[in-house]
Amino acid sequence: MIKHLLLICCTAVAIALYSCSGGTLIDQSQDMSEGVWHVDSLASFDYVIEDTTLKYDISYLVRYAVDYPYYNLYVTYYLEDSVGNILNSQQQELILFDKTTGQPLGTGLGDLYDREVKIFEDYTFDQTMKYHFKVKHYMRMQELPGILSFGLKVTENED
């Protein structure tokens, strides 16, 4: 009887915690083949905005190796509407290693690290629709080693 009661309580807590995470629209990463990001490869993500009155936080999710040859990563993003019109595009710099110490930033174990880099806070969308977010690296190498996956996270800002 006690085991059943404990199981019911744990299930109720799990359901409550799951229902509180409804503010995430996308939390997805794409693996790079053999840990190399080719210059002509786009990381592409689709998500739907249903409420234009809300503000959203948008972050990149980068998994990288400690032998990545640079301290930073330049990327260019393209935000497109559902018919492919580019609504916004910009080059951005992501810092992966501390410039002074050379220590990897983010969380990791061994030679792999994950870094979430917030790129937009309180971003608003004009229309209710499906959006496409595409990202490519803008480094000097055609084949960029050490980037294992690249992702996008879009969440409702609860402030």
Average pLDDT of 131-158?
Answer: 95
Cα–Cα distance list, 139 to 81, 93, 142 (Å): 26, 10, 8
Q: Is the pLDDT confidence value at 123 over 70? A: yes
Instruction: Indicate the pTM of the whole model.
Output: 0.82
- Spatial contact of 139 and 146, defined as CB atoms under 8 Å apart: no
Q: Is the pLDDT confidence value at 7 over 90? A: no
**pLDDT at residue number 158:** 79
Q: What CATH topology corresponds to 24-156?
A: Jelly Rolls (2.60.120)
- The whole-angstrom separation of Cα 124 and Cα 120 is 10
Which tens digits make up the pLDDT trace of 58-83? Answer: 999 999 999 999 999 999 999 999 99
Contacts (Cβ under 8 Å, ≥6 apart) of 107:
113, 114, 115
Residue 139's nearest CA partner among 58, 71, 52 is 71
Q: Is the pLDDT confidence value at 32 over 50? A: yes
Segments making up each domain of the chain, as ranges: 24-156
**What is the SS3 assignment for the chain?**
CHHHHHHHHHHHHHHHHHHCCCCEEEEEEEECHHHEEECCCCEEEEEEECCCCCCEEEEEEEEEECCCCCCEEEEEEEEECCCCCEEEEEEEEEECECCCCCCECCEEECCEEEEEEEEEEEECCCCCEEEEEEEEECCCCCEEECEEEEEEEEEECCC
Confidence at 22, pLDDT banded by 50, 70, 90:
low
